[in-house]
Structure 1
Amino acid sequence: MHALLCCVFLLMLHVGHAIELINVRRTTGPAPDRPVEISWGTNETHIEVQLSYPTQGWLAMGLSPEGGMDQSDVLFGYVDDLTNEVIVQDRYLQANLLKMSVNLSLDEQQDWQKIAGSKNGTYTVIRAVRLLKTCDKADHPFRDALQHVIYSLHTKPPTTPTAHITKHTFKYSTNINFVGASSTAEGDRTPDGKSALQLDGAGSKKLQFTIGNVSITGDLDTVYYCAVQKVPTLDKKYHAIATQPLLDKENLPYIHHMLVYSCNDIPKDEPELIKGKFPCSPTDGSTFMMKYCPNLLGAWAMGQADVNPYPKETGQPWGPEMSGKYVLVQLHYNNPERRSFVDNSGMIYHLSDQLRQYDMGTLMTGLLGLDFTMTLPPGQKVFTVQGQCVNNCTELFPKEGITIFSSVIHMHTRGLSGVVRHFRGSKELPLIDANLKYDFNLQATRPVMPFRKFLPGDRIVVECNFTTENDIQPVFGGEGSMEEMCLAFLNYYPKSALKVCGTRFRVPDYLALMSQPRPNQSAFRPKLTPEMANILMSGTSDLMPARRLMVKHLQPQAQKYFSSRTWSEADVKPLQDFFTKGANYLGICNVQGILTPIPNDNPPVFEPMGCKRHRYMRIRAL
């Protein structure tokens, strides 16, 4: 009781003493011409926040403990249509993605206090104040650190202050330091509306690469499209200091992610180059992307901010040697409604001739085998898969090592949680990244704080936890949103020649496991053509292009076999061990487009973390 009275007294002290809103974050809204704006200011004890959202309904901002919706501490408000009363509420969000349930309940202790509010024909604005650290266990403190922020809105207000809150019509996420002097980050603005990043000015330049008005016909749920464009003439070296997605507003619900690659020399008679844009995917048999364009330049996925800056120490290099070279833009469209539309989305690179200390690079790591050798059994509450960047590959990093500054873990709709683990020899170091409440619709790049030093010979393990409780058929790895992936993209400096570092499970080892007899089950014994049998006998089944032929031949048989079998605990455990113990995989290093296999890895002995939160916290605190 004494603590509660103390909190109330401190809040009363603030009333009548407005805090200047000296920080502004302008970020993605439901349309490019209607951004969301979050303004704030702090003193020693309090924070004052103003939300300005393009809606006539309710608006909300939540502090998320792990980046997902669940357990978010929410500032909620609206302006009543009948009375024009400004309603400000303190709420707590509980989300169960497995049951597709969300409950945005009122806190027993209302810590947000109304300052002002209004709305016009386009925007609703509310302003409120709260203690930085309240006495309420349902609240999260505002800290001097980057915090996960989720914001959402609905086009209509609640019917009453205590009515059930209907699902948002728009939701996005970002990261903000509300307290520290280092709060300026992507999308931040000064109070006069100018970008705090200084993207424009003397010596600045913008490069824009788009998909080129591609027609999505609505024939498939999942579509990948690529477009190849030339880099304009660059007279000197520049650093890209930020990227910005260029998204067609009408198509935003269907754009799942975007990747941008730089290309090596492409023959002028290459059919895909002549066409300019073409269907593509990681596993559709097209070798164009990895053959000619293996160098990742940038990535965006739904849930990321609308401007993504790099740390002040580093920039992405663009120079005269890239003039006339080609850039490939790949868009992944998730279109379950089978809608037909034309899209011209892409990426903007903000360049500066004020070069920074280091060139930056991006490493793609994790599980590279997007096929039936990644099998998730149905009916599993939690099933774990790992992909590794083996130490033989990381020996290629500079002797002083690299510095990792941000990360994004990528799974699809069955993803529960994921971590990027860091090993030096047999010793496990603190986690590089941990997304403990994975949300397919909130896949924002997450800062690695503090920046992580990664030395040659260190190892990365990307561990992904999935649920298949609602599935009656096994789920395979693949590029479709209803298939699964386990990848991480790490941004770092200084730039290295190593572009991709991962593993794929060996086809012979997988077949040996699945062909073992089970009680009351027939073993998986696929029919092999003479060509397939020769590939297996030669030991080349995991090297391209032989592996692609093996997958094309075996995957339909695997799908037919697994759809007819039952999965007991005795069946699941050997498969779980196969994916998380031993070395049943082939390491892959991609250096400047040249793939080098690492056949005989010797990993340290470690247990999968699974979904046990205390294990994550233990490693994070080391």
Structure 2
Amino acid sequence: MWFSFLSFAILSIGLVQHLDAISSPIPPYTNYTYATELQPNLADLWWSIDDLRKEITFEFHINTTGWIALGISPAGGMVGADIGLGWIDQSGQLHFEDRYAYGFYQPMVDNTTQDWFGLQGREVNGWTAIQFKRLLDTCDVMDYPIKSGTNIVIYAYSLEDPVIIDGKATIKYHGDRRYTRAIPLQSYANPPSESKFTGLDYFDFQLHNYSVPSNETTYHCTVYKVPAKFPKRRHAIAHKAIIDPANIDIVHHMLMYECDPSAVFDDENLPSGICDDLGEVLMPCTSRIATGWAVGGDYINEFPEVAGYPVGGDFEIQYYVIQMHFNNIHQMSNRTDSSGMRFYLGNELRQYDIGYMTLGQISGATAIAIPPYDDRLVIDSYCPALAMQNIPPTGITVVAAFPHTHLQGRSVWTKIIRNKKAVQYLFNGDAYTFNYQFQNRLPQPITLYPGDELATRCIYSTTNKSVVTLGGEATSDEMCLHMFTYYPRMNNLHFCWMANSMEAWGRVTNDSIPLDYNSIVKWLTDRQWTRQSIADWQTFYNSTSKLLIYDNGGNIDFADLPKLPDYEDFEPYQCKKNTTDVDTALRPSKLRSLLKRMEITS
């Protein structure tokens, strides 16, 4: 139990799923910050963000000479999607429209406030390329904001241009020429093609035809040793998640942990098996995350040019554990798996060693308990200066973030608290989706200094569940974790977690049960949840005493906090638009016009 409790409290990953090689024969109009191949030999996308103007510029290429469309969707479908649609006519002129989808029918043109703007376009060799822009948040009820975190991009195309009737464009149904892609548009990691690392040394930590049990949830652990062929210290400059193609549907995530430098194993018989069965054996390997991968993420992760992950030679870590989570929901018994992790080694040492830090809640019921039918439960954690005091005076540089919850998670963020005042987000995963978990590259590296504190928040919704959701390992359980990649590496800054104190559980249960873990779980699962008790539960989380668990020089330390520390927060973002535009966007005549076009009477 200790291994499960501790290891899953630090789930974090940085990795991904699409190896990017551009297909379009048309060069983009300009240089962009980000680029990805949406669909091989079919669709490519480039984009850049102007932070000052809060504006995003796209360039979209599709292998067609008909109309093309790109949209931002709340959930990956048509309903509520905000769409830019364009085409090049026979004279070479660009046409571009701002459209909005109320349902599963032709998106209507927004004739009141044009918020998508076509800039230029062309057709070359059977491909259409269009450059266009919009604000990240237009304040328009017929637009969908591009939030920080993971965005759901939809795109479609036709083989023909729209038909113009009475000056209005009518588009034919795209049929199956429609697609969805999740992308963190404001923090994409731009994973390189694996060909970039051709010729470099590498090593793999990989399963070999492991027979996956038929259980719905399996956690398998294997100990690996640093390859002896690397007698000198090296820096890994990138790593690749090797996911067995036959098991993409059941490999949920994998984590690599560093074992304590004092750990000793029989090199001829390294432990391998069900994680809980190896609990005592793996105790030295449960608190230091090295890297990993999760469902929906990119396969390749490349480190910043100034830093790398140290391996071999005089590096103190000799042993590692790869933990695999198989989510075998159909309980199939005929699967064998050979997934793992590959590390590409640079030819020269870089200036800094990479380190990882994980914030949030421990992954158990004493930290996470979410009532059923709750549309919004907020769970906050706090990492005080006590746990951050070993940061060097020059600070540490944070370069990437990986937020993680399970199915009920809706948002994860961490704020920097300096002198008891929130100064900025370390990362804001306002838009989060469980099925696409990305390593987010911070738009600009952020420096943390001694005395800084960190506030982390996870937001959940359980309107689709009739039973309480508890913290735990299974996909149906929940987590609240936020991992950050930084340099230079510190040996006393790996994790900072929270849970509700046992005293708090005594108060909320009126001391009616023994204060042990199993009794608390039973009390939570047996409880009859009412509207009032669900509302009261948020108050409990906001005001109860907390247990802090943090890394201190390689040791695990604990501290009791009577409540979450107070801090002065910054004003939440509010979309601002000039009065005329707002009046126009919300004017009753506009709404009546929309209803008429939708053939709905009011």
Give the counterpart letter for 2:340 in structure 1.
G
Equivalent residue for 1:365, pick from 337, 343, 359: 359
Contact 1:173 1:303 in 2 (8 A): no
Written as runs of structure 1 = structure 2, the 5 A alignment for 1:548-563 is 550-551=516-517, 553-562=518-527
Partners of 1:114 and 1:134 lie apart in 2 by 23
Equivalent residue for 1:589, pick from 544, 547, 550: 550
* Higher relative contact order (CA closer than 8 Å, sequence separation 6+): 2
Deviations for 1:20-73, whole angstroms, at most 9, x for unmatched residues?
A: xxxxxxx845xx8x9775787544699999957348xx75759799xxxxx999
Q: 1:367 Cα shift?
A: 0.5
Written as runs of structure 1 = structure 2, the 5 A alignment for 1:442-481 is 442-481=436-475
Number of residues of Structure 1 aligned to a counterpart in Structure 2 = 510
Equivalent residue for 2:537, pick from 575, 582, 601: 575
Equivalent residue for 1:260, pick from 256, 262, 269: 256
Which residue number corresponds to residue 354 of structure 1? 348
Give the counterpart letter for 1:572 in structure 2.
I
Partners of 1:403 and 1:300 lie apart in 2 by 22
Equivalent residue for 1:53, pick from 23, 35, 39: 39
Give the 3-state SS of the residue equivalent to 1:321 in structure 2. Answer: coil
Partners of 2:487 and 2:33 lie apart in 1 by 35
Moved more, 454-463 or 585-594: 585-594
Which residue number corresponds to residue 437 of structure 1? 431
Q: Does 1:89 align with 2:73?
A: no
Deviations for 1:508-547, whole angstroms, at most 9, x for unmatched residues?
A: 31231133xxxxxxxx823x4xxxxxxx5xxxxxxxxxxx
Equivalent residue for 2:203, pick from 204, 207, 214: 207
Deviations for 1:377-418, whole angstroms, at most 9, x for unmatched residues?
A: 111111100122222111122232211111011011111111
Give the counterpart letter for 2:227 in structure 1.
P
Which residue number corresponds to residue 217 of structure 1? 213
Which residue number corresponds to residue 418 of structure 2? 424
Q: 1:168 Cα shift?
A: 7.0
Give the 3-state SS of the residue equivalent to 1:253 in structure 2. Answer: coil
Taking structure 1 as reference, are residues 606 and 237 closer, same or farther at Cα in structure 2, changes over 3 Å only? same
Deviations for 1:158-201, whole angstroms, at most 9, x for unmatched residues?
A: 9x963266697874536689xxxxx9x64346xxx952xxx345
Which residue number corresponds to residue 191 of structure 2? 187
Equivalent residue for 2:390, pick from 396, 399, 409: 396
Contact 2:420 2:568 in 1 (8 A): no
Contact 1:477 1:485 in 2 (8 A): yes
Q: 1:139 Cα shift?
A: 8.9
Equivalent residue for 1:227, pick from 222, 227, 230: 222
Taking structure 1 as reference, are residues 513 and 73 closer, same or farther at Cα in structure 2, changes over 3 Å only? farther
Partners of 2:249 and 2:258 lie apart in 1 by 27
Q: 1:464 Cα shift?
A: 0.6
Question: Unaligned 5+ residue runs, structure 2?
Answer: 1-15, 50-54, 87-95, 98-117, 163-170, 576-602
**TM-score between the two structures when normalised by the length of structure 1:** 0.70
Partners of 1:507 and 1:285 lie apart in 2 by 28
Taking structure 1 as reference, are residues 397 and 38 closer, same or farther at Cα in structure 2, changes over 3 Å only? farther
Q: Does 1:525 align with 2:512?
A: yes
Equivalent residue for 2:507, pick from 502, 505, 512: 512
Partners of 2:241 and 2:34 lie apart in 1 by 30
Which residue number corresponds to residue 328 of structure 2? 335
Which residue number corresponds to residue 19 of structure 1? none
Which residue number corresponds to residue 401 of structure 2? 407
Q: 1:576 Cα shift?
A: 1.3
Q: 1:467 Cα shift?
A: 0.5
Give the counterpart letter for 1:438 in structure 2.
Y
Taking structure 1 as reference, are residues 454 and 373 closer, same or farther at Cα in structure 2, changes over 3 Å only? closer
Written as runs of structure 1 = structure 2, the 5 A alignment for 1:129-148 is 129-131=130-132
Partners of 1:557 and 1:48 lie apart in 2 by 49
Which residue number corresponds to residue 590 of structure 2? none
Deviations for 1:533-569, whole angstroms, at most 9, x for unmatched residues?
A: xxx5xxxxxxxxxxxxx32x3255224422xx13223
Equivalent residue for 1:378, pick from 359, 372, 394: 372
Contact 1:363 1:499 in 2 (8 A): yes
CA RMSD of aligned residues (A): 4.5
Which residue number corresponds to residue 566 of structure 2? 605
Q: Does 1:280 align with 2:275?
A: yes
Q: 1:256 Cα shift?
A: 2.2
Taking structure 1 as reference, are residues 322 and 314 closer, same or farther at Cα in structure 2, changes over 3 Å only? closer
Which residue number corresponds to residue 578 of structure 2? none
Q: 1:593 Cα shift?
A: 4.7
Give the 3-state SS of the residue equivalent to 2:549 in structure 1. Answer: strand
Q: 1:149 Cα shift?
A: 7.4
Deviations for 1:588-611, whole angstroms, at most 9, x for unmatched residues?
A: 11246521112247753148999x
Give the 3-state SS of the residue equivalent to 1:393 in structure 2. Answer: helix
Give the counterpart letter for 2:327 in structure 1.
N
Partners of 1:492 and 1:427 lie apart in 2 by 23
Contact 1:28 1:35 in 2 (8 A): no
Q: 1:253 Cα shift?
A: 2.7
Give the 3-state SS of the residue equivalent to 1:392 in structure 2. Answer: helix
Give the counterpart letter for 1:339 in structure 2.
M
Partners of 1:300 and 1:205 lie apart in 2 by 21
Partners of 2:312 and 2:210 lie apart in 1 by 29
Partners of 2:355 and 2:33 lie apart in 1 by 37
Give the 3-state SS of the residue equivalent to 1:350 in structure 2. Answer: strand
Give the 3-state SS of the residue equivalent to 1:437 in structure 2. Answer: coil
Partners of 1:231 and 1:359 lie apart in 2 by 17
Give the counterpart letter for 1:90 in structure 2.
A
Give the counterpart letter for 2:220 in structure 1.
Y
**TM-score between the two structures when normalised by the length of structure 2:** 0.72
Give the 3-state SS of the residue equivalent to 2:447 in structure 1. Answer: strand
Contact 2:202 2:345 in 1 (8 A): yes
Which residue number corresponds to residue 244 of structure 1? 240
Which residue number corresponds to residue 111 of structure 2? none
Give the 3-state SS of the residue equivalent to 2:256 in structure 1. Answer: strand
Partners of 2:472 and 2:342 lie apart in 1 by 28
Written as runs of structure 1 = structure 2, the 5 A alignment for 1:36-115 is 41-43=27-29, 53-54=39-40, 86-96=65-75, 103=81, 107=85, 109-110=96-97, 111=118, 113=121, 115=123
Partners of 1:568 and 1:36 lie apart in 2 by 52
Partners of 1:342 and 1:169 lie apart in 2 by 31
Which residue number corresponds to residue 162 of structure 1? 172
Contact 1:378 1:468 in 2 (8 A): yes
Q: 1:585 Cα shift?
A: 1.3
Partners of 2:529 and 2:144 lie apart in 1 by 45
Q: 1:448 Cα shift?
A: 2.0
Partners of 2:465 and 2:48 lie apart in 1 by 29
Contact 1:405 1:451 in 2 (8 A): yes
Give the counterpart letter for 1:94 in structure 2.
S
